[in-house]
Structures are given as C-alpha cells and as structure tokens.
Amino acid sequence: MTEYLCLTLLAPADESEAAFASRLTAFWSHLIRAQPTTYAAVYAEATHFGTTNGRVSRQYVVQANAADTMVESLTANGVEVLPLDPDDVYTKYEASGSEWFQIAH
C-alpha cells in the first residue's frame, strides 16, 4: 500500500490568500512541466486555505517516497513548508473526505 504524507505550505506573514494562491498556481504549473513525475506524486489538495501560526496555509497529500523532492522544489521556489514527520503517514482513503479533492493526473 502506498503511504502518503501531508505537506503544509505557508505564506509569508504579510501575504494575502489571493497572492499565495497565485504563487501556488504558478509553482504547480511550473512543476507539471519541469518535474511531471514529482507532480504525479501529489494525491490531494485541501479544499480550503487554512491558517497556521497566524499565516495563510494550504495542505497537500503526497506520496511519502516523493515528499523530500517535493519539499526541495517548493523551498527552491520560495514556498515554505512545515517540517515533515515521516512517521505520520496516511492512506489515500484518509484524504478522500469532503475537505480534500483528488488531483487528476
């Protein structure tokens, strides 16, 4: 069974949700073209932005074996990611409720 980790992406403290959404769209569009295999490891995206430590955040569920590569790509493109806990794994069924939408590949 494939294991998944939850990535929490953070906007800078002064960035609005709309600006963060725009930056994430640009990042994912770039990743699809530059690293399609890495992008294919993204299983689901939270349906709503959240707030983490007073900052706008967004969560994604990614295959555990691609999480480090994903974090490297995100940070190289100026997107902060909360530290991963490699022991906090999920199945794809845990990311299938109404608070998640699956990403078609």
pLDDT in tens, 62-77: 999 999 999 999 999 9
**Structural domain of residue 25, as residue ranges?**
4-102
CATH number of the domain that residue 18 is part of:
3.30.70
Examine the pLDDT at 14 and tell me if it is beyond 90. Answer: yes
Q: What integer is the mean pLDDT of 65-93?
A: 93
Q: How many CB atoms lie within 10 A of CB 50?
A: 14
**At residue 4, what is the residue type?**
Y
CB crowding 7-45: b at 16 or more within 10 Å, else e: bbbbbeeeeeeeebeebbeebeeebeeeeeebbebbbbb
As a whole-number percent, the residues of the chain with pLDDT over 90 amount to: 82
Q: Tell me, yes or no, if the pTM score tops 0.75.
A: yes
Task: Please give the tally of structural domains in the chain.
Answer: 1
